[in-house]
Structure 1
Amino acid sequence: MTTQTAQAACKADDGQPLLSVQDLKIRIQMDNGVMQAVDGVDFEIKKGKTLGLVGESGCGKSLTSRAIIGINPKECETTGVIKYDLASEGSASDPIDLLSLDPKGKRIRSIRGNKIAMIFQEPMTAFSPMYTIGNQMVEMIRIHRTKNKKEAKKIALEMLGKVGISDQEKRFDQYPHEFSGGMRQRAMIAMALSCNPELLIADEPTTALDVTIQAQVLELMQSLQREFGMAILLVTHDLGIIAEMCDEVAVMYLGKIVEQAPVREIFYNPKHPYTKGLLKSMPRLGGEKSVRLDSIEGSVPMPIDMPPMCGFYERCTDRIEGVCNARSVPKTRISDDHSVRCFLYSDQQRGEAQ
């Protein structure tokens, strides 16, 4: 796909989301009850745009992202709808529901790694230690793009060059343990993009990297997004990365999206107490060294057989007794592109609860 073709594809039919997740729920049966790991998640990703999914460890971000391509463990009972637009194939049919497909079937395997690719949090465990980097890249390219070995190797070498890995011929025949952490992440990006995906899922792509390499990887992702016109779902806990990379942000807490809005709206007009707490805990350049950063008191409760109430109730300084702990919080729309799950912004709902 050329740059011009990619840009044209992004501009076409901007109103139709590339991916639409509706009421996604993931339950896991535990020894002491049922864990509601993901509880009614909704979001959309438009073609060529970046959505940031942000929240603390254990809030359900990775399970949500992996559910899209059907690679969660079999213990995860997943329900909901995940619609994917196949318009790029020239299909006039409605978007396909990825959750309705057999996770090991031919249809989802033609989409996974091809239309939708994923960068995993730790490439050392994502790559097989038994095969060379080049062998693993060529295998995927031959599955999705071409059966010709020479052509597949040529594509792999070109992608390694695009992500800034020099001496590609030598690196092609090396094993993952012979790469540094930053180079492994670059190789993972090269592998993910080797089939020109329409959607890239990046699950904590810079967690294990130092600040310099982190900046290089983020710049690389932005550059390749402009070149290929792909959409990105960026899963992270780092609000600094969110500010730099994303068009829209979904803030996740205890399996629910508690606030969603464009990135500037989240940073300059946050509504949910949890979002405000995250922003206040961020260090700022030029800030006084003697000033302590704010922290969110308490800890995240275990989502096992939880009663209908706000999951942030125990940690919230703005909680309303008899309201926030009385029933589940509905979504309130602040504006056309800003929604929040909080009784503070719904007088009608608060009155009904009382």
Structure 2
Amino acid sequence: MKQMRANKRSTEQPLLSVEDLKVTIQMDNAVLKAVDGVSFTIEKGKTLGLVGESGCGKSLTSRSIMSLNPKECETTGEILFNSSLDQKLKGLNILDLDPTGKKIRSIRGKKISMIFQEPMTALSPLYTIGNQIMENILLHRTKNKKEAKQIALEMLRKVGISDEEKRFNDYPHEFSGGMRQRVMIAIALACNPELLIADEPTTALDVTIQAQVLELMKSLQDELGMAILLVTHDLGVIAEICDEVAVMYLGEIVEKAPVHEIFNQPKHPYTKGLINSMPILGTGKQRLEPIEGTVPLAINMSHKCGFYDRCTHRIQGICDVQAVPETQVSSNHSVRCFLYNEHEEDEQNA
């Protein structure tokens, strides 16, 4: 019986499968490759962290899942959504849907929700907090305004906003940054989504509020059984909440592994650089080790490792003349780096 259950789990489809996702933007005299062949999966009830510096393509990747990229973006590849609650949505390729059509609008906000960046500007100043939470509920859960209000009040309680009856009628400018972030979470979770995309959910929050928001997300994940895609540049947040990590640089995922392997056995020089630039309490570490340089624009890129110009382990004549293939260093750990490429290992051993 145990063997049968194990087989059932192993053949279960992931909730979300992203395959060879590319997002390009046509410029005046060039093409910007903002996302270049990204692939990953998210299992039901698990949290995947997408980490990297600003400009690496994280937000465009996450917005592609919601079909919310600007019209200037050309998005190709596959984003397969395997709903466990709706058979009609099993194996659905989101990129096949009209971005403004009825089908995607029935998924967006209901099956897949998103906490957007910058809570200070994401809420409309013209409508009350309660009105903005109810909008999603009335669209996807019930047409009864009285019932929708009760659900909205319950969500305010769940996200830790006290005196919810009064705060329901307040406007965003009457809330602090941390409270607005909680409201954003309440809006995103009001329809019990199967997947929550959290784009920099703790940006500009002090560490106390940040800890409360992360704890809230974890407790609601346990209660609702949802999966989370956490987009951030903060490895401390990744360590706190994620099961798996995908490290993104210049539109590509350069390393993927379970969270404990990323921190204990990082492979890619960029991943190591991110970890070394983190302040770690109790270690006596006096100076941080920054990564020299900045992320370049992905325009007219030559066939070489995107991290070549900033890498302290680059191999001239190899890393600067060809694209880097993905290498499996273990069953669940992959990396794009010639230091772990079989061909390079053979040359070094010769």
TM-score, normalization: structure 2? 0.94
**Aligned-residue offset at 1:31:** 2.9
Deviations 1:279-319 (A, max 9, x none): 11111112336x31111112222110111110000111111
The C-alpha deviation readout for 1:315-349, integer Å capped at 9, x for no partner, is: 11111111111111011011111000001101326
Shift of 1:125: 2.0
Q: What aligned pairs does 1:154-193 form with structure 2 within 5 A after superposition?
A: 154-193=150-189
* Aligned equivalents of 1:94, 1:105: Cα separation in 2: 18
Q: What is the SS of the residue equivalent to 1:232?
A: strand
For residues 135-146 of structure 1, the aligned pairs below 5 Å read 135-146=131-142
CA deviation digits over 1:126-149, x for unaligned, max 9? 211111111111111011000100
The CA distance in 2 between the partners of 1:42 and 1:212, in whole Å, is: 34
Distance across 2 between alignment mates of 1:323 and 1:52: 30
Whole-Å separation in 2 of the counterparts to 1:148 and 1:125:
29
One-letter code aligned to 1:211: V
Alpha-carbon distance between aligned partners in 1 of 2:10 and 2:151, rounded to the nearest angstrom: 30
Q: Secondary structure at the match of 1:87?
A: coil
Tell me which residue corresponds to 1:69. 66
Match of 2:216 among 220, 229, 237: 220
Residue number in structure 2 paired with 1:229: 225
1:17 aligns with 2:14: yes
Of the three residues 303, 318, 322, the one matched with 1:323 is 318
Q: Secondary structure at the match of 1:88?
A: coil
SS in 2 for 1:27: strand
What is the CA-CA distance between 1:351 and the residue it aligns to? Answer: 6.6
Which position in structure 2 is the counterpart of 1:294? 289
More deviation in 28-37 or 263-272? 28-37
Residue segments in structure 1 that go unaligned for 5+ positions in a row: 1-10
Q: What is the aligned partner in structure 1 of residue 84 from structure 2?
A: 87
Which secondary structure does the structure 1 equivalent of 2:306 belong to?
coil
Secondary structure of the 2:170 match is coil
Matches within 5 A, 1:253-292: 253-288=249-284, 291-292=286-287
Distance in 2 separating the partners of 1:12 and 1:156: 35
Partner Cα distance (1:13, 1:235) in 2:
27
1:333 aligns with 2:328: yes
Equivalent in 51, 56, 60 of residue 54 of structure 1: 51
Distance 1:13 1:119, change over 3 A: farther
Q: Give ranges in structure 2 of 5+ residues lacking alignment.
A: 1-7
Aligned to 2:127: 131
Q: For 1:347 and 1:319, locate their aligned partners in 2 and report how far apart those are by CA, in whole Å.
A: 16
- 8 Å CA contact 1:160–1:190 kept in 2: the answer is yes
CA contact (8 A) 1:14 1:46 kept: no
Q: Deviations over 1:240-276 (max 9, x none)?
A: 1000100000000000000000000000011001001
Question: Alignment length, in residue pairs?
Answer: 340
Mapped contact 2:45–2:221 kept (Cα < 8 A): yes
Partners of 1:25 and 1:79 within 8 A in 2: yes
Q: Paired residue for 2:191? A: 195
Residues 18 and 46 of structure 1 are in contact (CA less than 8 Å); yes or no, is this contact kept in structure 2? yes
1:323·1:350 contact (CA, 8 Å) conserved in 2? Answer: no
Q: Is the 8 A contact 1:200 1:233 kept in 2?
A: yes
Give the whole-Å Cα distance in 1 for the aligned partners of 2:36 and 2:90.
26
TM superposition shift of 1:55:
0.2
Percent sequence identity over aligned pairs:
71
Question: Once structures 1 and 2 are overlaid, which stretch shifts more, 291-300 or 102-111?
Answer: 291-300
Residue 238 of structure 1 and its aligned partner are, at CA, apart by 0.5
- State the Cα RMSD in Å: 1.6
- 1:94 is displaced (CA, Å) by 4.6
- Give the Cα separation in 1 of the matches to 2:283 and 2:13: 43
Q: Separation in 2 of the partners of 1:77 and 1:257? A: 19
Are positions 1:305 and 2:300 aligned together?
A: yes
Aligned equivalents of 2:124 and 2:293: distance in 1? 39
Q: Name the CA distance, whole Å, in 2 between partners of 1:192 and 1:98.
A: 19
Distance in 2 of aligned mates of 1:315 and 1:73: 30
Relative to structure 1, is the Cα distance of residues 12 and 143 closer, same or farther in structure 2, using a 3 angstrom cutoff? farther
| Letter paired with 1:83 | L
For 1:40, the equivalent position in structure 2 comes to: 37
